[in-house]
Homo-oligomer: A and B are copies of this chain.
Amino acid sequence: MSHKTTLTLISLAVSMAAGGASAKEPIDPIRPVQEINLAQVELGKKLYFDPRLSKSGFISCNSCHNLSMGGTDNIKTSIGHNWQQGPINAPTVLNSSLNLAQFWDGRAKDLKEQAGGPIANPGEMASNHVLAIEVLESIPEYRVEFKQVFGTEKITIDEVTQAIAEFEKTLVTPNSPFDQWLLGDEDALTAKEKEGYALFKNSGCVACHNGEAVGGNSFQKMGAVEAYQTDNPAEGLSAVTGKDADRFKFKVPTLRNVELTYPYFHDGEAETLEEAVELMGRLQLGKKFTEEENAKVVAFLKSLTGDQPAFQMPILPPSTAKTPRPQPFGEDS
């Protein structure tokens, strides 16, 4: 085969792979998960669903990052221990492995670091790492499984968060209609959805919402063109960097599965996609979408819903006489 033929074939392959889309689209298809430790995933799945990691015995990771509901709780701000009102909207766990950092202000560098936070947050699960380990150590099935997975006799919080993070890495959502279109299936999107995508690109949304997760890879000021009005006191990245210039900079949320992850923004104040698109256009881009344009962008956004996690409900090993009891209502009476 001549060099010329080879090049032609490569060009053809690239062109076919890109399908109706240009090879230089600012959004990439979600790749399948790779290099996953399946034993850690299975253990992490149990831990993700185990409310005994909370003080009350009632709240698990899945309570606020509900995998039946787009990896969120669909509440403006979450409900924590003793029905405390959370300070910020719970971001989706779906595709969160693609984020450049975790939490709205990026204060955790990765999923492993993130996973330890809510367990010990007095306003969320309200336990602590010592108690959480004591609970797990008291359950023989967990001791055996941690030993099988990590090869150590003692369970550590490092192993707990590692396993949860490994499970969370599996929570990607490939195969959305938009990704099918990106991969060459011209019919995967309707004309309206394609027009919405064109508007999304041409209006500048892709400046922040790009890449595999359609977001999640930068911090940006909420209210770039016009100030954002909110009662929510969160100031974003500046809480981490201490820099005044970082005030109101938040991690750009992923738009993957955005139809499922309402309400929107760090304060959860936008209830619908229409409202979110209108506000983002105006505050971030100085653009006023017409009603028709707004509907098209929303149609495009709904094409970003991919395959949701599909797995069997984990069955949790029972507590024993040695297991510290849940304390849902103050001290055990």
Contact = CB atoms under 8 A, between A and B. Distances in A.
A218 interface: no
Contact of A68 (B56, B313, B329): B313
Given A85-B329, A310-B312, A313-B313, A319 B75 contact: no
A242 interface: no
A308 B315 contact: yes
A317 to B, nearest CB: 9
Interface stretch (A195-203, A233-241, A244-252, A320-328): A320-328
A28 interface: no
A95 interface: no
Given A83-B82, A259-B318, A315-B68, A328 B75 contact: yes
A86 to B, nearest CB: 10
Interface string A42-73: 00000001111000111000010011111001
A74 interface: yes
Contacts of A315: 68, 308
A207 interface: no
Interface in A121-157: none
Given A83-B83, A321-B274, A69 B311 contact: no
Interface string A289-309: 000000000000000000011
A271 interface: yes
Contact of A328 (B79, B310, B329): B79
A316 interface: yes
Contacts of A83: 82-83, 328
Interface of A: 49-52, 56-58, 63, 66-70, 73-76, 79, 82-83, 85, 259-260, 262, 271-272, 274, 308-316, 318-319, 321, 325-326, 328-329
18 contacts: A49-B68, A51-B73, A52-B74, A56-B75, A56-B79, A57-B74, A57-B75, A58-B73, A67-B313, A68-B316, A70-B318, A75-B328, A83-B83, A259-B318, A262-B319, A271-B321, A309-B313, A311-B312
Given A58-B63, A260-B318, 16 more contacts: A51-B69, A57-B74, A58-B73, A67-B313, A68-B314, A74-B326, A75-B326, A75-B328, A79-B328, A262-B318, A274-B321, A308-B315, A309-B313, A311-B312, A312-B312, A313-B313
